[in-house]
């Protein structure tokens, strides 16, 4: 027998209270024990996740367009980077002589640059 909800042209026996309760019971049984679990949050990135720095010595350092003149790199390695007031950062002409002794600091400046415009080539 077809039960109709008042005012609903498409109502069938699927709308009856008994049918709805049975459907709910079936759904509960279907999903019992296999509810989706929340995924564990991704661990925060740390310096351990960074790609390894090449063992080869630094061959070239340059600055791409987009420097915001924050002077952070100059604070880390003043022997290599120069940031004049209101000007983009430049690599000092005699910077190459510090590529060996200041390699780690140069890599740190590259990592810490807020706009990631410091480029380092190893070779
Ligand atoms: S850290 Fe990056 S943005 Fe800041 S002065 Fe140096 S190159 Fe420019």
**Is residue 86 pLDDT above 90, yes or no?**
no
pLDDT at 70: 95
pLDDT in tens, 22-74: 777 777 776 666 655 566 666 666 666 666 667 899 999 999 999 999 999 99
**Number of the ligand 1 atom closest to the C-alpha atom of 118:** 7
Per-residue pLDDT for 12 more than 60? Answer: no
pLDDT digits (tens, 9 = 90+) for 98-119: 999 999 999 999 999 999 999 9
pLDDT value for 68: 95
Secondary structure E strands in the chain: 58-63, 81-82, 90-91, 118-122
Q: Residue 14: pLDDT above 70?
A: no
Residues whose CB is less than 8 angstroms from the CB of residue 4 and which lie 6 or more positions away in sequence, other chains included: 11, 12, 15
> 17 CB contacts (<8 Å, ≥6 apart)?
none
Could you tell me if 84 and 91 are in contact, meaning their C-beta atoms sit under 8 angstroms apart? no
Q: What is the pLDDT of residue 110?
A: 97
Nearest protein CA to atom 1 of ligand 1, as residue: 113
Q: What is the pLDDT of residue 63?
A: 97
The answer to whether 104 touches 118, Cβ cutoff 8 Å, is: no
Tell me the average pLDDT across 90-105: 96
Ligand 1 centre and the CA of 68: distance in Å? 6
Residue 88 has pLDDT above 80, yes or no: yes
Instruction: Report how far residue 17's alpha carbon sits from residue 118's, in angstroms, rounded to the nearest whole number.
Output: 68
The protein residue whose alpha carbon is closest to atom 6 in ligand 1 is 73
For residue 73, with 0-12 CB atoms within 10 Å meaning exposed, 13-18 middle and 19 or more buried, which class applies? buried
Q: Largest Cα–Cα distance in the chain?
A: 93
């Amino acid at each position: 027998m077809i039960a109709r909800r008042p005012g609903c042209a498409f109502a069938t026996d699927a709308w009856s209270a008994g049918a709805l309760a049975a459907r709910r019971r079936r759904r509960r049984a279907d999903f019992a024990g296999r509810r989706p679990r929340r995924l564990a949050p991704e661990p925060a990135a740390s310096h351990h996740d960074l790609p390894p720095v090449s063992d080869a010595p630094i061959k070239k350092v340059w600055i791409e367009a987009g420097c915001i003149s924050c002077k952070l790199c100059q604070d880390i390695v003043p022997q290599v980077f120069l940031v004049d007031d209101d000007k983009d950062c430049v690599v000092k002409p005699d910077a190459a002589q510090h590529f060996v002794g200041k390699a780690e600091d140069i890599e740190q400046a590259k990592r810490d640059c807020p706009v990631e415009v410091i480029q380092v080539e190893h070779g």
